[in-house]
């Protein structure tokens, strides 16, 4: 699934209410590191093995209320939410930090799906 921009605070709240796991990229247009890691985030979102996760982006300048609600103070910041609870985060444009968080969430979602099928 491609990365979907979050356009409003109510939309963000609806995403948090979902049982699905959401990975959110908090970024800014003026942030060079945000632009540098964006292709990796897009690649992670479109991987077939990522179908159990939803990927979103938040422009912190356009959606200040969301950034404040999440306590974002540096960009890029990546946060992972499941059923309204933050279950992971990464601050900074570090592929070595972002990839394991996404992989862990894929494994968790797969394990949950297997338990549901038993």
- CB neighbours (10 Å) of residue 104? 13
* Helix (H/G/I), strand (E/B), else coil: 85: strand
34 is catalytic: yes
Q: Which of 15, 23, 24, 31 is catalytic?
A: 31
> Cα–Cα distances in Å, from 4 out to 43, 55, 78, 96, 114?
13, 6, 14, 23, 27
Q: Which of 6, 15, 34, 72 is catalytic?
A: 34
> Cα–Cα distances in Å, from 83 out to 14, 15, 16, 80?
10, 9, 6, 10
Q: What is the spatial distance between Cα 64 and Cα 95, in angstroms, rounded to a whole number? A: 25
31 is catalytic: yes
Would you name the residues annotated as active-site residues? 31, 34
């Amino acid at each position: 699934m491609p990365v979907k921009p979050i356009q409003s605070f109510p939309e963000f709240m609806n995403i948090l209410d979902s049982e699905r796991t959401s990975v959110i990229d908090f970024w800014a247009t003026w942030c060079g590191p945000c632009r540098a890691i964006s292709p990796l985030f897009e690649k992670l979102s479109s991987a077939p093995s990522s179908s159990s996760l939803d990927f979103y982006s938040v422009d912190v300048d356009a959606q200040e209320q969301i950034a404040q609600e999440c306590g974002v103070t540096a960009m890029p910041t990546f946060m992972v939410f499941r059923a309204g609870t933050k279950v992971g985060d990464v601050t900074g444009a570090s592929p070595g930090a972002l990839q394991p968080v996404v992989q862990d969430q894929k494994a968790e979602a797969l394990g949950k799906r297997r338990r549901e099928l038993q």
